Structure 1
Amino acid sequence: MAASINTFSGIVELICEANTLNDHLLTCNHLTSAESQQNYEVCKARCSKLKEKTEQLNLKTSNDEDAKSILEEYAQIVLDVTYIDENQLVEDDFPEQTANTRIRNVLNHIDNILLVAKKTFPNLQPTDCLGVEIMEVILWRKGALLYMYCHQVIPDKERLKRNVMEIKQILYDGISYLRQMLDVRKPDCQQLSDLELHVNDTLQLIKSGIYTDTHLLALMYCGEMCYWYVQAVRDGLFDLSPEFAVKDIGSRVLKSYIKAVQGPLKGAGWTCDRAEELLAVIVS
C-alpha cells in the first residue's frame, strides 16, 4: 500500500530529522573517554546510513511500514547517542554550572523522538508506532537520568539549597516519568489466564506491573525520589502541593517493590532493606 498523505509528510519529516541528527553528531566533540568517543563514532556511522536510507525512499511507493522501520531506527540511534551523553554527565559528577543545561539537552533529544512520531503518524499514539519497548525505554531513561542527578546532588545540602526550586521540579518530573514507564505495558486477559495455569510467580509479578528487572528498579528509583521529596518538605525546603500525592505514590511503589522481592523474587539477588527504610520514613 502506498503512503497516505500523513505518512508521506511524515517520511519527509523523517528525512529532515535524519539530516539534523547527522549534523548534530558531526559537530559533537565533548567526550573525554576513548570508549565514549568510539561509541559516538558508531552512532555517527549508523546515522549516516539512516540518512542515506531516507534519501533513497520513493515517496510515492513507500508505506506505513517503511516509515515505522525508519522511525524505530531513528529512535534507537537517538537513545544510544543520549546514553553516551548521560554517562558523560555521571562521569563528570553533574557539574553545577552546566548540569541542568546538559540534562535538558538530553531530554529534548529524547522528547524529539515523540514529536517526530506524532508528526509521522498523527492519528496514532506514540506507543502504537514506536512499540512498547521503545516507549518504556524513553520514559525509563528520562526518569533514571533525573534520579541519578538527584542521587548526586541531594546529599550536598548547600548545593540543594542553592538549587532548591530546580531540584523540586526535577524530582516531580522524575517521579512522573517513572510512573508513566510502569504504566506503559498492560497484560491482556488471555495472557493472565494462561499464566494463571502455568507460572504463578510470573503472574504475581505481571499483576504488579513488573515485567523486567528495569521495572523493578523503576519502582525503587521512584520510591527513593518520593522519599527525597518528602524529606525536603519536612526540612522546610519544599512546600507540599495538595495535588501531588507524593507520600501515597512513594508508599505504593515501595510496597510493590518489597512484595516482589520478598515473594516471587526471593533469593534472586534483590534486597529490600533500603526500601523498607525509605517506606518507614515516608509513612511516619
Structure 2
Amino acid sequence: MTVTDRTRYERRLGWWLSAPAVILMLAVTAYPMLNAVYLSLFSYRLTDPGGRRFVGLSNYGVVLSDPLWWEDVVTTAIITVITVSAELVIGFAFAMVMHRITIGRRTVRTSILVPYGVITVVSAFAWRYAFALDSGFVDNWLHLGTFDWFGNRWSAIAVICLSEIWKTTPFISLLLLAGLAQVPETLHEVASVDGATFWQRLFKVTIPNMKPAIMVALLFRTLDAWRIFDNVFVTTAGAQGTETLSFLTYRQSVTRVALGIGSAVSVLLFLSVVLIAFVFVKGFRTDLGSVRGDTR
C-alpha cells in the first residue's frame, strides 16, 4: 500500500505546525526533567544536603522492589480504566446530542461544557463535602444513613472516579464532537437508503470514520487520568489505599523531602506516560489518509 503525496504533505504540515509548541514545551520542561534524572542518581534528603552521595540506579531498584509502588500502579490503573471508559461512552452520547440538536444548540452545548470550566480543586472540594460523613447530603438522598464513603478503599475510589467523570467528560465530548463534524453526512444518507439501522450506521459508518478523533480523545484523557493528583489530594490525601503514582511522587519529594527517591518515582512516572502514549499510537495505527482512502 503506497502513501499518496497528499498524506505525505499532511504529515509534514503536522510536524511544522506542532514544532513551535514542542520547542516551547522543551524550553520550559527540559531542565526540570534533566534535573530530576540527575537527582534520581543520588541518595539525597533536603534536610541533609551535606549527606548527598551518588548511588547510581539504586533508587530505581528501591522503588521497583517496593510493594507500595505496585499498589499505587494498580490504584492508578483502576481509576484510569474506570474514568476513561465511562467518559468515552458518556462523552460520545453528549457529542451526538450536541451534533444533532437544532433547537437550543448553544444552551445545550454550554450546559454540557460547564463542568470542564470548573477548577479541578474546586470540583474536588465540592464532591468531598457532598460525600462527607458529617456534612454530606448524598447519604440523605440515597437513604444510606451515615455511610462513611471515605472510610473504605472502594467507596473512596468510587467518589474519586465520579468526580473525575463529572469534571472531564465534557473534554472528551468536545473532541468527539469535532470528530463527528468530519463524518460526511452523505455516508449516513446512503446507509439509510440501503436500510441500515441506527446502530448499524453507528458502528459501520460513524465510529470507523471517527477513529482519529477517538484516538486523540482516549490518548489525551488516559495520560491525564494516569497523572491524577489534585482530586486525590483534596478528597482522601491518599488514605484508604487511594494513593496514586503522582501522589507518591509528592509524598516522597515534598512530605519526606527525599529528593533522590522522589525524583526516581517521577522519572518512572514519566516513562510510564511515554509507554502508554507509544502503545496507544501503535495500537490504533490511525492514518488520516487511509481513513479518507488516499492510498494506492
Return the TM-score normalized by structure 1: 0.24
Normalising by structure 2, we get a TM-score of 0.24
The higher radius of gyration belongs to 2
